[in-house]
Amino acid sequence: MTTTEKGSGPLSGLRILDIATIIAGPMAGSLMADFGAEVVKLELPGVGDGLRGFPPFKENKSLWWKVTNRGKRHGTLDLRKPDGAKLFLELVAQSDVLIENFRPGTLARWGLDIDTLWKANPKLVVLRVSGYGQDGPNATQPGFARIFEAMGGLTHITGDPDRAPVHTGYPLADSIGGIFGAFSICAALLKVKLSDKDEGEEIDLALTEAVLRTLESLAIEYDQLGDVRERVGNKNTYSAPSDVYMTADKRYVSLAGSTNRTFRYNATAIGQPELVDDERFATNAARVAHTAELDRIFGGWIASHSLEEVLAAFHKANGTIAPIYSIDQIFEDAQFKARNAIVPVEDEDFGEVRMQGLVPRFRNAPGEIRWAAKSLGADNDYIYNRLLNLTEQEIEKYREQEIL
């Protein structure tokens, strides 16, 4: 592995170059940074990553930006210029991973094709994030999370059956891509480490395919049964009772549970343990067939009790129900507090900001969030002086040429 300024965590000692923009690729990099990798994020001078322009804002600073690019070193570089490409290849030579999400063929047009990258560093792992993959009829088409969710099958099954399909209101496809990206980098690095060949890896991550992969049973269901999954609202196609219900004090809860044991616990919670002896509810398949009746029974009981009463009864019976939280309620929840799921992080603009902690947790090498994402080019001196040993005069010359 490359010699780096070591962070804390199992990926300490890795160096990653992140030239990706917006969410999926940068999120993959931030996940790696969380667990110790030194991630050097390079942006176009004077322009920067488009995510810097995403709301919400505080004092004209994007708060979203501070999370998605946390823990990274922030530099600027114009790869399109020959001298910029030269500096870039010098950084590639001392890195383990490159993350990019340009349209397929873009880096090659700038003289940075895969063979050139591997000539600079034969063991380099390159993660290419795109909407549709590096080949196929849609390869060069632009895309955003909603496009990937729509074409990947997620949107079609989301929402009520008598209404238009619904997007979640958050770009889940990008987050899904970030997780797949971090996983694939780790898998590739393991292969490179264990191989006796001087050989890197090129990863082709299509975000539309990543969304489809998360939908597990949809493809085999259609292939083997000819069934096309449709929208069922808040109900569940594989267990019952399973829905969203309103309490007497106008709060929402979500009920789940597919096993006979959890049904027994849930029936006990609403004071009707005898339901387990009813042949209509004896098995999960039988319960699914009688969803409407179970909704009437459970929904009626929940509607006549306050949220506090509902949660207390289900907790006592070991039932499987949860309040539907907004973010302010997450901040106040005892379980999240006990787990430090929201943590304070050092920030150059606001001193300290709070955001999600590390997921998952490691016992022996837990990782850390070193800082929230920084301003454009904040670490240029570190990158070009300490990593590439450029003098202050050389750095200033590149700045004047708008390469940095």
Helix (H/G/I), strand (E/B), else coil: 377:
coil
Number of neighbouring beta carbons within 10 Å of residue 152:
22
Helix (H) or strand (E) holding 262: helix 260-269
With the CA atoms of 323, 329, 330 and 331 taken in that order, what torsion angle do they form, in degrees rounded to the nearest 10? -160
CA gap 314, 336 in Å, rounded = 19
Structure tokens at 300: 């009626």
Catalytic residue among 18, 174, 347, 379: 174
DSSP letter (8 states) at residue 365: S
Number of neighbouring beta carbons within 10 Å of residue 126:
22
305 neighbors 247 (Cβ within 8 angstroms): yes
CA gap 161, 163 in Å, rounded = 6
Residues 6+ apart with CB under 8 A from 34: 9, 70, 71, 358, 367, 368, 369
CA gap 56, 345 in Å, rounded = 18
Structure tokens at 261: 């044991």
Find, among 128, 176, 178, the residue nearest to 152 by Cα: 176
Is 174 annotated as catalytic?
A: yes
Please give the single-letter amino acid code of residue 125.
V
Task: Quickly tell me which residue has 């010098």 as its tokens.
Answer: 90
Q: DSSP assignment of 66-109, as one string?
A: HHHTTT-EEEE--TTSHHHHHHHHHHHHT-SEEEE-SPTTHHHH
Residue 280 gets the label, from left (phi > 0), alpha (psi -120 to 50) or beta, of: alpha
Point out which residues pair with 39 in neighbouring strands: 16
94 neighbors 12 (Cβ within 8 angstroms): no
Q: State the burial class of residue 236 (Cβ atoms within 10 Å of its Cβ: 0-12, 13-18, 19+).
A: middle
Find, among 160, 152, 156, 166, the residue nearest to 228 by Cα: 156
Residues with a catalytic annotation lie at 174
